[in-house]
Each structure stands twice: as C-alpha cells, then as structure tokens.
C-alpha cells in the first residue's frame, strides 16, 4: 500500500471542522487535504464519518466513529480496501455523559431544567431524589465504552456488573456475565447501560422480554446504536410504567422524528447522538490515523483494523 494522498471527507464536519484534522496531520509525509465526494477516488486513503461507494477505489478507509455498522464489510474486502475504526478513544467522554444521565435522574436535574423553561419554582417530591452509592448498574458491552462507563460510575460509588460474550472478568467490574445470561444480569439492577456494537447478534437485543425482566424502578441507558433496541417495545414499557425512565443518545431513526413519543416523556432524556463529543475529538481520531501512517512505513499491521 503506497500512501501519497490522504483525504479528510467533509462528512466529518458533523463532529469537528475537517480543516482542524487536516492541520493536525499536516506534518505527515503524505499530502493531506479536505475533500468532497468527487475527491475520493483521487486519494489513496480517506478519513470519513459516512460511507460512500467511491471508497471502494481507495486502499484504506478510516472511520472517525467506533461503530462501523454502516460500512459494507464484504464489498470492502472484495475490493481489497482496509477499514480501520476509532474504537479506544470514547471511554472518558461517554463515561462522563452516562454519569451525567444518572446524576440527572438521582438529583432530578432534568426536572429543574424543564421547570426553569416555564419559570416555575417547584421542588421534587420528598421521595423522588436519591444518591448513587449502593446502587448497581449492569453495563452490556465491556469494551472501550463499557470500561469508561465503569470507571466513571465506579468513582461515584455505583457497583458495576458487566455483560460480554465470553463472560471473562474485566477490571472495574465486580461481576461479569456471559451474554446468554443477559436477562438474569439485568433483572435486579437500578441501571442498565448499553455499550455493545450493532451486529446481527445484538440487533433488537433489548426487546419486550428484556424490559419485562428489568425492575420497574430501573432506568435504561442506550449510548450504543439505536437498533440494539426494539424502540416500540421500549416506548410501550415506558408508557406502562414498567421502567422508571431512560436516557437515549441513539435511535432507530436519526434524527429522532418530531412525532416520537420519546420527546415528550418526563423521565426520558434525549440527546442527539453526541455522547462522545469533545473539542479534542479531531486530535483523538488524528492520533489513530497518525499511528497507522507510521505503521504503514514500518510495515506493521494496522491498529484498529476491522476489514
């Protein structure tokens, strides 16, 4: 693989200005430039948020996201295109976002913000607020996101339980369950937090049976991908008070349609797929790209290679 031209596709603008990343990588021994769709095939490598068919003609594609469920693995492989992703950088950002959701629920911060919009001085019911220490969160997916969530919540006194395919122990988690024991793992905890990749196996992993297994005073958090959850089943559970509430960063359809009932529920926090946002994002992703350009020169295997 000869690397002469690296393009930063304009779709990364959804997360940071493309020119910031181009500047950050300007000292690489390759030509780096910001490109639109028509510039893709002139490059050897492309850094992008969105998939375009034209990337089948380049040698290497880097996704600025960890989730690469929108990329066609078979087509890339057939075309001999290497795909790398950005897993490994979202531990602290997503961990802090999830801590923020839990603190909102426990300290009722979302109620205060809603009341403030109405200039309403209204204290919570005497038994609505609580504290986090002594509660348990079950984190489904114990990779970068899951361990970042565990580290942040652990610091707030939350007990952590994990779910992964192997069930092998992971630092930061008191207990780890294999995924065939999912319903058991989520049955008696106050918080269920989803941090798995979207795959054939995890599609609609959280369905009516999963919500039925959870406590009716438990909160559900999804920072993974919308389709890991059967969204109508979640809405039914929330409407039936079979759950206390939910914090959702990702949805089956994004942007979340204006007529979704999730927008109007008091105990639901909606964020627009930004749990991992940080002003350092272009640096974090740039460091992975730089590492791989270095590895290309020394002939080492790519870091974070997916295809």
Determine the size of the site formed for ligand NDP (CB under 6 A). 31
C-alpha distances in Å from residue 268, one per residue of 108, 132, 138, 199, 242: 12, 18, 19, 26, 13
90 binds ligand NDP per the rule CB under 6 A: yes
Give the one residue of 14, 116, 131, 166 binding ligand NDP; rule: CB under 6 A.
Answer: 166
Nearest to 161 by CA among 180, 145, 141, 144: 141
Q: Does the annotation count 239 as an active-site position?
A: no
Q: Which residue in 164, 230, 234, 248 binds ligand NDP (CB under 6 A)? A: 164
Active-site annotation holds for 303: no
- The rounded distance, in Å, linking the Cα atoms of 170 and 145 is 13
Q: Which of 94, 102, 185, 243 binds ligand NDP (CB under 6 A)?
A: 94
Of 201, 254, 297, 300, catalytic: 254
Task: State the nearest-atom distance from the C-beta of 69 to ligand NDP, in Å.
Answer: 6
CA-closest candidate to residue 195, choices 212, 209, 211, 179: 179
Among 48, 84, 87, 106, binds ligand NDP (CB under 6 A): 87
CB under 6 A: which stretch of 40-48, 141-149, 239-247, 283-291 binds ligand NDP?
141-149
Interactions with ligand NDP, residue window 201-260 (CB under 6 A)? 201-202, 223-225, 249-250
Nearest to 148 by CA among 299, 46, 278: 278
**Is residue 285 a contact point for ligand NDP (CB under 6 A)?**
no
What is the radius of gyration, based on Cα positions, of the chain?
Answer: 21
How far is it, in rounded angstroms, from Cα 158 to Cα 289? 35
Residue 62 binds ligand NDP (CB under 6 A): no
String of contacts with ligand NDP for each residue 5-44, x by CB under 6 A: ----------------------------------------
Active site residues: 225, 254, 273
Q: Which residues bind ligand NDP (CB under 6 A)?
A: 66-67, 87, 90, 94, 140-146, 163-166, 179, 195-198, 201-202, 223-225, 249-250, 273, 275-276
């Amino acid at each position: 693989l000869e690397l002469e031209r690296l393009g930063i596709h304009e779709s990364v603008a959804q997360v940071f200005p493309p020119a910031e990343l181009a500047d950050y990588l300007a000292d690489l021994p390759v030509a780096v430039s910001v490109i639109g769709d028509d510039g893709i095939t002139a490059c050897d490598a492309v850094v992008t948020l969105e998939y375009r068919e034209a990337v089948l003609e380049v040698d290497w594609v880097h996704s600025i996201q960890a989730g690469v469920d929108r990329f066609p693995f078979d087509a890339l492989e057939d075309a001999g295109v290497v795909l790398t992703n950005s897993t490994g950088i979202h531990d602290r950002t997503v961990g802090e976002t999830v801590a923020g959701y839990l603190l909102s629920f426990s300290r009722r911060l979302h109620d205060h913000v809603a009341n403030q919009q109405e200039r309403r001085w209204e204290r919570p019911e005497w038994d609505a607020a609580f504290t986090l220490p002594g509660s348990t969160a079950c984190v489904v997916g114990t990779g970068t996101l899951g361990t970042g969530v565990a580290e942040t919540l652990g610091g707030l006194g939350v007990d952590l339980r994990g779910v992964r395919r192997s069930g092998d122990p992971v630092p930061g988690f008191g207990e780890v369950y294999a995924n065939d024991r999912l319903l058991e793992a989520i049955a008696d905890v106050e918080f269920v937090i989803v941090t798995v990749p979207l795959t054939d196996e995890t599609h609609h992993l959280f369905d009516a049976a999963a919500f039925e297994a959870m406590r009716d005073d438990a909160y559900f958090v999804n920072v993974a991908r919308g389709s890991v959850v059967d969204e109508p089943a979640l809405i039914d559970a929330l409407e039936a008070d079979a759950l206390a509430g939910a914090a959702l960063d990702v949805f089956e359809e994004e942007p979340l349609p204006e007529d979704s009932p999730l927008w109007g529920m008091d105990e639901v926090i909606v964020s627009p797929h930004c749990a991992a946002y940080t002003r350092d994002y272009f640096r974090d992703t740039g460091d992975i790209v730089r590492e791989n350009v270095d590895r290309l020169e020394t002939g080492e295997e790519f870091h974070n290679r997916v295809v």
